[in-house]
Amino acid sequence: MEIFVIRHALAENASEKKNDKERELVEKGFKETKAIAKVLKKIGVKPDLLVSSPLTRAIQTADIIAGKLGYKKKINVAKELLPESKPEDILNLIKSKIGSKVESLVLVGHMPMLGDFISFLLGVKNFSFEIEKSGVYIIELKFNDKKEFETEFKGYITPSIARRLK
């Protein structure tokens, strides 16, 4: 399965009027995510499943990706993609709920959890990969019969790279 691990786009700052869970994307966040989605479409990404954190900024990012990639199904929301989650939570979500029927999976969430998840998948200890807002890591994930996994790093696309690839 190919996994596209996307950090939510640039959002407004938390304030007394708006708590962290409700922060919405700012204009730059919308633009950067559209640029990323355009590149994903250009390289032929057709997700079988799109899963987002339940926080507003992640759902908005997932909506943009879904629209640009022609994803017509409902975006799944999973607490396993919340900022305080552990890499094992996401892997268990993939193993237990998603399974082998999915060939192309898009995950939208938050740092530092997503960076920790990528490190975990790639077997890098005591390190967390950085993901720019709207950035996407592409990882090939394969499970054997014992549900053990192998991974291969396929690429990393940032908004600045996406803008240059127009």
3-class secondary structure per residue, 88-155: HHHHHHHHHHHHHHCCEEEEEECCCHHHHHHHHHHCCCCCCCCCCCCCEEEEEEEECCCCCEEEEEEE
pLDDT value of position 143: 81
- Span 46-70, average pLDDT: 97
Has residue 115 got a pLDDT over 80? yes
Q: What is the pTM of this model?
A: 0.94
How many whole angstroms separate alpha carbon 4 and alpha carbon 110?
A: 13
Quick one: DSSP state of residue 22? Answer: G
**Residue whose C-alpha is closest to residue 49's, from 113, 3, 114:** 3
Has residue 55 got a pLDDT over 90? yes
pLDDT confidence of 98, banded at 50, 70, 90?
Answer: low
pLDDT value of position 87: 96
- Cα 133 to chain centroid, rounded: 10
Q: pLDDT by residue (tens digit) across 129-139?
A: 999 999 999 99
Q: What token pair was written down for 143?
A: 């499970």
pLDDT value of position 99: 64
Q: Which domains does the chain have, with CATH numbers?
A: 2-9+21-151 (3.40.50.1240)
Q: What token pair was written down for 3?
A: 């996994």
